[in-house]
Amino acid sequence: MKYKLTKKQKKMRNRIIIAIALLAVTAVTLHFVEVPWWAELVLYMIPYVIAGYDVLKTAFINLIHGQIFDEKFLMMVATVGAIVTGEYPEASLVMLFYQIGELFQSIAVGRSRKSIAKLMDIRPDSATVIRDGEELEVSPEDVQVGEVIIVKPGEKIPLDGVILEGESSVNQAALTGESAPVDKALSDNVISGTLNLTGVIKIRTTSTFGQSTVSKILELVENASDKKAKVENFITKFARYYTPAVVIAALVLGVVPPLFLGIGSWEIWKEWLTRACVFLVVSCPCALVVSVPLSFFGGIGGASKDGILIKGAGYMEVLSKIDTVVFDKTGTLTKGVFAVDDIHPNLVSKAELLDIAACCESFSSHPVAQSIVRAHEGHIDKNLIGEVTEIAGKGVKAVVEGKTYYCGNGQLMEICGADWHDCHLTGTIIHIAREDDGKCEYLGHIVINDQIKEDSEEAIKSLKNAGVKRLVMLTGDKKSVAENVAGKLGLTGFFAELLPADKVSKVEELLKNGKGRLAFVGDGINDAPVLMRADCGIAMGAMGSDAAIESADVVLMDDKPSKIADAIKIARKTMRIVWENIIFALGVKAIILVLGALGIANMWLAVFGDVGVLIIAILNAMRCMRRLNR
């Protein structure tokens, strides 16, 4: 990405170039020409002032305000110290390098800030609303609920709504990270912030801009820093003590040894003052103070690109330490949608049995009945269906093509007197019987189950690979169903037949028994108390669900459980980079402090310890932004 220098940065760059040129000319000239010391001083002071006048100015102002531990002030003291000890070229160069470092830092930070901001930029700029038959381009904030907007191909959908006219493919990648487009047609819901790809669509809005999905997400991401990570607080505290401590150490180093080693010798004073200056140059904790929040900011930004919204650096930290993941079953590991698993016919073929069942159930709105109709796929000629009687809690009795069929549970089979048997599979079983000459023949049964999501298995596998030890499922469903799902997915445990309140107490129990942190994953519908109770509440399928966005700590925009492992991986990567930077920065500074005190480290090394370390830390922190390789 191209980054344009700001006015200030350009000015700085020009000053640096002029200072370098002057310094080079001076150094070369003085190599051949002998001049008195004062002339040398003046010649070196010109580039010094050109490069650093703003540092000196700010340092003075800060001094008046009593801000003595400001890095600019320290830089001034260090360079003035070098001048006093007669090292004019050093003073000039140190100032120059400091400014180059500052410029580079400003560019690097500005650049990463911009690219993170761009990652998160899903805000639609305008909306085309139809008022009195005319198309008007307005700001999304000005569109009311229930107005009709028109979205052309290539435009962002500005507000949540329902399609009134037209059909199109919509790219939801900005919200979910999933780049495969989704087809949307009449009366489908569309979500703000997604990109309309192919067709012109008219949408009746269902929310104001402030209430729309895109605004909620933006608000969430922008306030993501609300919960600070422990590391961040540590750095803040550390910075508060580090700088004063180093400055005091510098003072002691500059004054005490000469008092003992030779109070009258200028050479000795000069030597120790130089060492003290080295201390001052590395006394800024900038590398940590900049890179740690930048890493978290980048990590959160990068995750949001994958449809994972992390509500704060603190949760990043928690996520990285998770060793227990507790799942809600329905809607999380399973689709929450019933479908036909198997057909076990008796006397008839599979297709015939499904045909009969679909006819019997075609008038029912029960989800189980609908799953049979869906599985049938073909056309059902409702004219062939005669009288349909619903037998509450048991099933239906229907006349199809003149024959009477019973379709329902075991109890219904008992009533009609068919010779039925139960199935070895778990799930909801629908039995079918045909009445013939007053006697009922058993035709077989259909097994219906809530379907496990396609990527649930992969999700569990990758969580195990990531070192998550306990994978537990909680459900209100029957034990046999839970056992089946848990077994298929390879979970380490499950608890079935739970009431919503039981889920909280189960999570509390697991919290007590576990060593690491615990995450609860739910769909955000009526599991808010559990989401809050867990160390880290993860809500999935959040697109359009406010409750989930509000009560969870981590929000997965789509409903893929495999994103949980991604979230953990991103968090771990971010934490690793944060610690790399902390250890690297502190290590280098500590070494330079020691070498400086011994008189081995010179000014050059000290400048590297300040700006060099800072720049390396920033570059490292920028890696957090990158998406996971898959």
Partner 1 sequence: MKKTFELEDLDCANCAMKMQEAVKKIPGVKDCEVSFMKQKMTLEADDADFDKIVKLAVKAIAKVEPDCTVVL
From the CB of 599, what's the least distance to partner 1, in Å? 28
Residues of span 208-227 touching partner 1 by CB under 8 A: 222, 225-226
Q: Which of 13, 113, 344, 461 binds partner 1 (CB under 8 A)?
A: 113
Q: Which of 2, 4, 65, 630 binds partner 1 (CB under 8 A)?
A: 65
Q: Which tokens hold the place of 127?
A: 């909306």
Q: Which of 161, 293, 314, 561 binds partner 1 (CB under 8 A)?
A: 293
Angle at 106 between CA 100 and CA 107, to 5 degrees: 90
**Tokens 């580039």 correspond to what residue?**
47
Find all residues with CB under 8 Å of 600, minimum gap 6, and list them. none
Q: Which of 3, 8, 244, 487 binds partner 1 (CB under 8 A)?
A: 8
From the CB of 189, what's the least distance to partner 1, in Å? 31
Residue 297 or 406 with smaller CB distance to partner 1: 297
Strand arrangement, sheet containing 334-345:
334-345, 439-452, 428-436, 403-408, 395-400, 385-391
Q: Which of 285, 312, 395, 537 binds partner 1 (CB under 8 A)?
A: 285
Q: What is the largest CA-CA distance in the chain?
A: 128
Do residues 231 and 292 touch, judged by C-beta distance below 8 A?
yes
**Tokens 């037998």 correspond to what residue?**
391
C-alpha to C-alpha distance for 289 and 69, rounded to whole angstroms:
15
Asked if 122 touches partner 1 (CB under 8 A), the answer is: no
Residue 219 or 454 with smaller CB distance to partner 1: 219
Asked if 630 touches partner 1 (CB under 8 A), the answer is: no
C-alpha to C-alpha distance for 522 and 116, rounded to whole angstroms:
28
Three-state SS string over 67-88 comes to CCCCHHHHHHHHHHHHHHCCCH
Do residues 472 and 496 touch, judged by C-beta distance below 8 A?
no
Stretch that binds partner 1, among 42-50, 66-74, 376-384, 440-448 (CB under 8 A): 66-74
* Burial degree of 417 (CB within 10 A; 0-12, 13-18, 19+): middle
Q: Which of 289, 440, 472, 518 binds partner 1 (CB under 8 A)?
A: 289
Q: How many helices (H) and strands (E) does the chain have?
A: 21, 22
DSSP state of 281: H
* Three-class secondary structure of residue 143 per DSSP: coil
**Residues 328, 341, 477, 610: which is the catalytic one?**
328
- What is the total count of residues that contact partner 1 (CB under 8 A)? 26
C-alpha to C-alpha distance for 547 and 152, rounded to whole angstroms:
31
Question: DSSP E strands: which ranges in 199-248?
Answer: 201-205
From the CB of 71, what's the least distance to partner 1, in Å? 7
DSSP state of 140: G
Q: Is 328 a catalytic residue?
A: yes
Stretch that binds partner 1, among 29-37, 170-178, 280-288, 400-408 (CB under 8 A): 280-288
Closest C-alpha among 148, 363, 166, 290 to residue 619? 290
Residue 453 or 589 with smaller CB distance to partner 1: 589
Asked if 114 touches partner 1 (CB under 8 A), the answer is: no
C-alpha to C-alpha distance for 333 and 266, rounded to whole angstroms:
77
Stretch that binds partner 1, among 14-22, 55-63, 361-369, 433-441 (CB under 8 A): 55-63
Asked if 67 touches partner 1 (CB under 8 A), the answer is: yes
Residue 39 or 117 with smaller CB distance to partner 1: 117
Residue 177 or 293 with smaller CB distance to partner 1: 293
DSSP H helical ranges for 324-478: 350-361, 367-376, 410-416, 456-465
Site string for partner 1, 163-192 (x = CB under 8 A): ------------------------------
Q: Which of 96, 143, 191, 290 binds partner 1 (CB under 8 A)?
A: 290
Residue 52 or 544 with smaller CB distance to partner 1: 52
Binding site for partner 1 (CB under 8 A): 8, 58, 61-62, 65, 67, 70-71, 102, 106, 109, 113, 116, 222, 225-226, 236, 239, 284-286, 289-290, 293-294, 297
Q: Active-site positions?
A: 328
